[in-house]
Structure 1
Amino acid sequence: MVDSPHSPAASETAPHDVVIVGGGLAGGLIALALHRQVPECRFVLIEAGRTLGGHHRWSWFETDIRPSARELTRGFRLNGWDEGYDIAFPALQRTLPTAYRSLASAEFHRALAAQLPADRVMLETKAAHLDAAGVTLADGTRIAAKRVIDARAFKPSTALAGGWQVFLGQHFRCDRPHGLTRPVIMDAMVDQVAPHGNGAAYRFVYVLPLSEDEVFIEDTYYADQPKMDAAVLKGRVAAYAKAHGWAGEVIDQEAGILPVISGGDFDAALSEVAIPGVALAGARGGFSHPLTSYTLPFAVDNALAIAGLIARRPQVSGAELAAFCKRRAKRHWRATAYYRMLSRMLFEAAEPGRRVVVFEHFYALKGGLVERFYAGRSTWPDRLRILTGKPPVAIPRAIRALFSSGKPLNTETPA
């Protein structure tokens, strides 16, 4: 069990094969993939927090992860719903058949702590400096490495354009069964108003029935500014629970502010965070869905790709690994251009209070199209279908958004 802020790995003098900085989703999965696929690899995972994964819940559709890659999630206790999920909009209520999965960060930490060697994980350990030859910790300890991977959190850049997805969720233990059998991925039958200071925004409530008497309720909105009024969101979650007759106690809570990228100069953004000879992974390296902010499917693919490269080429250098990850990041950026265009439609073509209509229009389409959209694998017929029919936004505004470079991403520290 990993329970020590410093492991014996810190005192070893021989260079590690790999040092991973950042024990979130991306870094943790890379460590797991290396442990399983390259057991001889001497890696160490460095995390500044007390646990791996932070305090989050990651969710995804079963079809988001390719069947050949699902093995990496083996060993995690997942919440799963094979009977599909519900969505609700003012003019559309629907059940879609795609299976849904969810992983809590506490379970992520438990499973990794059980599977990874204890001397390969360093918790409560802050990295002060990264370079191609290793990592220097805040206490001055030097950890030499043949390859270094930077999997720390996303860093906002003025080179990028877009907005923000703001959310606060609470885990309720109800005093009686709640009666839900499927997740509600989007309940947009709520006021389309962000907390004071943010104005109108696309807002919805996300609901996961975790057990017969436990339910996770998250209030989410898309906004132009990275601001959160936690008190207001808590009140909204409580009001939603009350409106559905769910009484009980809050046993956990999470909150976050995620980027929704609509454009920008990706090379310039990468150059702001890149360190020569150090590989970039996770959201910091650009691996997320530009519109939904989902990261898990891309984190799985990258972890397997990195482990596969090291397994095939044990002598691959740190510079080569960094170039490999950069090529993957740029390929991902090109492949997700369509979703960035849709983000511009959301933030620039739709009036804030009418953004709900954009999503309502989308969810009326065929289920297979929706599946491929979330997985970031929309076909050209899918893309044309999303943009055909009665437009959910004014055509002149849509044309301007289509050719826009996007609103500069607000880089203020999220509040």
Structure 2
Amino acid sequence: MNSPLIARVMPCARPDGKRCPPPDCALGQSPMNGRTIDIAIAGGGLAGGLIALALRRARPDLRVALVEAGPTLGGNHRWSWFASDLDAEGTALLRELHQTRWDGYSVRFPGHARDLATPYHSLASADFDAGLRRLLPEGTVHCDRPIAALDARGIDLADGERVEARCVIDCRGIERAPQLQGGWQVFMGRRLRTARPHGIERPVIMDAAVEQHGAYRFVYTLPLSGDELFVEDTYYADSPLLDRTVLAGRIDRYCEARGWDGERLDHETGVLPVVTGGDFAAFQAAHRTPGVAVAGARGGFVHPLTSYTLPFAAATAIAIAREADLPGERLAAMMEARARAHWRRTRFYRQLGRMLFGAGSPDERYKVFGRFYRLPEPLIERFYAARSTPGDRARVLCGKPPVPVLGAIRSLVTPGAPLSREAA
């Protein structure tokens, strides 16, 4: 069903009569003279960028504005995923963006190491930004445009400009979610160029054979080229505290022990929620703007235990592109329904998260993943894609538990800590 067009976009006026350059052009002054903005996307991170890309592929006739507060799309991040996380459409969508691919990966735990054959992919935010600027139509990308407010008919920018559109999608991130419960995934990553070839051929996505430091700690290593590595120190922790000095020192020691000396190219840090429960209806209400569709982590589209977002961002983008003619109110309702269905489907992973954080000593949390990585590879693939079958769930839970039984039972009936950085 088509919606009436809400507002006209005025042509970009310059004294010399030339078109404004797309990145610097005011949103209300599009170089696409006289056309209406059909869909305005607030937030140029992974979710917003993939929605814009999916719309370009499926509906190149639509006028889309992708509005980002920061200087680039995607911020300073690296997204990684297993090939099995995506269906054919999702794979095709991501294929247009430059990425690094490996035919398999490894894991390491105390007394146990394993190589797996599932292909693994990684996408740097710099390549995400460059790819979207290359692929999206002129005038779509608008960075350095902080958002003051939004509603069902447009976006108010911090500089006072109003961007009117038929439909608005909110893909901005969130800093806190006190309506939900759980723990935190805290990490620091470093990209470095080694002084000599490092000899690493495939990713090590979990090296938990390291000192745990009061959390489930593992080091994640990606060989980006023969002399370039990405090394990330990650913690499943009770607190969102991220001490950059401490984590940097631990990465130093990890690299030194392996002879990886060389030039530090850049780094990233992050604190992600690991959701174990809560009131999802209240979470939706807290992030709802009437008539505005919500996607990405703000919409609840995450893997509760791994904090992965990419598979769900791709699926959401494709779903929105299919329904791009819906009025904003109906698209908002569709997205809320999808989010509720996702919450129901991922209940099993929240239960596992409660056991991970609540059943045993933090220094022994690695045993949960160590046992998990002895299971069949297809089960592991379905787990990361949040598509575990009833048989998979039974297989994960059966046998001798890696955590105390009474602790596991107690964790399932005890409310978790609210996901509020102020309260942690």
Q: TM-score range by the shorter chain?
A: over 0.9
Per-residue displacement from partner, 1:96-124 (whole Å, max 9, x unpaired)? 11110000000000100101123111110
Per-residue CA deviations over 1:210-256 (Å, capped at 9, x if unaligned) read 00111110000011111100011111111111111111111111111
Correspondent of 1:136 among 144, 151, 156: 156
Offset of residue 201 of structure 1: 0.5
Q: CA deviation at 1:404?
A: 3.0
Matched, 1:167 2:191: no
Distance 2:22 2:421 in 1: 34
Q: Distance in 2 between the 1:216 and 1:225 partners?
A: 25
**Displacement after TM superposition at 1:9 (Å):** 3.2
Q: Report if the CA contact (8 A) 1:153-1:284 is conserved.
A: yes
Is 2:171–2:294's contact at 8 Å kept on the other side of the alignment? yes
Alignment of 1:40-189 (within 5 A): 40-82=61-103, 84-189=104-209
TM-score (norm 2): 0.92
Q: Which residue of structure 2 lines up, in the alignment, with residue 10 of structure 1?
A: 28
**AA in 2 matched with 1:39:** P
Q: Which residue of 1 aligns with 2:8?
A: none
Gaps of 5+ in 2: 1-19
Displacement after TM superposition at 1:14 (Å): 6.1
Cα distance in 2 for residues equivalent to 1:248 and 1:152:
36
User: Which letter maps to 1:230?
Assistant: R
The alignment status of 1:317 with 2:312, answered yes or no, reads no
Q: Report the CA distance shift for 1:225/1:284 in structure 2 as closer, same or farther (over 3 A).
A: same
Q: How does 1:344-359 map to 2 (within 5 A)?
A: 344-359=354-369
Secondary structure, aligned partner of 2:349: helix
1:23 corresponds, among 44, 66, 81, to: 44
Name the CA distance, whole Å, in 2 between partners of 1:377 and 1:278.
28
Partner of 1:228: helix, strand, or coil? coil
Could you tell me which residue of structure 2 aligns to residue 32 of structure 1?
53
What secondary structure sits across from 1:320 in the alignment?
helix
Structure 2 CA distance for aligned equivalents of residues 403 and 351 of structure 1: 18
Alignment of structure 1 residues 279-358 onto 2, 5 Å:
279-310=293-324, 314=325, 316-358=326-368
Q: What is the CA–CA distance in structure 2 between the aligned matches of 1:157 and 1:296, rounded to whole Å?
A: 20
Aligned AA for 1:57?
A: R
Matched, 1:226 2:237: no
Residue deviations 1:346-368 (CA, integer Å, cap 9, x gap): 11112111111111111111111
Judge which range, 393-402 or 263-272, deviates more.
Answer: 393-402
Please tell me whether the aligned partners of residues 35 and 63 of structure 2 are also in contact (alpha carbons under 8 angstroms): no
> Displacement of 1:16 after TM fit?
1.5
**Paired AA for residue 51 in structure 2:** I
Match of residue 264, structure 1, among 278, 303, 310: 278
Q: Distance in 2 between matches of 1:145 and 1:336?
A: 33
SS of equivalent residue, structure 1 residue 73: helix
Residues 23 and 139 of structure 2 are in contact (CA less than 8 Å); yes or no, is this contact kept in structure 1?
Answer: no
Separation of aligned partners in 2, 1:155 and 1:228: 14
CA distance in 1 between partners of 2:202 and 2:369 (Å): 20
Provide the rounded CA distance (Å) in 2 between the counterparts of 1:135 and 1:294: 28
| Paired AA for residue 140 in structure 2 | R
Distance 1:278 1:91, change over 3 A: same
**Partner amino acid for 1:36?**
R
- Aligned-residue offset at 1:412: 2.3
Cα distance in 2, alignment partners of residues 157 and 209 from structure 1: 34
State, as a whole percentage, how many aligned pairs show the same letter.
53
Tell me how far apart the structure 2 counterparts of residues 413 and 69 of structure 1 sit (CA, whole Å).
37
Please report how far the alpha carbon of residue 69 of structure 1 lies from its aligned counterpart in structure 2 after TM superposition: 2.2
Aligned-partner Cα distance in 1 for 2:228–2:241: 29
1:309-335 alpha-carbon deviations (Å, 9 max, x no partner): 11xxx2x21000000100110000000
Shift of 1:11: 2.3
* RMSD (Å), alpha carbons: 1.5
Unpaired segments ≥5 residues, structure 1: 194-199
Structure 1: distance between partners of 2:423 and 2:173: 13
Structure 1 SS opposite 2:28: helix
CA drift at 1:8: 4.5
SS at match of 1:341: helix
SS in 2 for 1:119: coil
Q: Is 1:373 the counterpart of 2:394 in the alignment?
A: no
Deviations 1:365-385 (CA, angstroms, capped at 9, x unpaired): 111111110000001110001
| Counterparts in 2 of 1:144 and 1:345: CA distance versus 1, 3 Å | same
TM-score of the superposed pair, with normalisation by structure 1: 0.94
Amino acid in structure 1 at the alignment position of 2:309: T
Cα offset for 1:170?
A: 0.5
2:170 is aligned with what amino acid?
A: D
Where 1:158 maps in the other structure, the secondary structure is strand
CA contact (8 A) 2:183 2:236 kept: yes
The equivalent residue for 2:6 is: none
Question: How many residue pairs align between the two structures?
Answer: 402
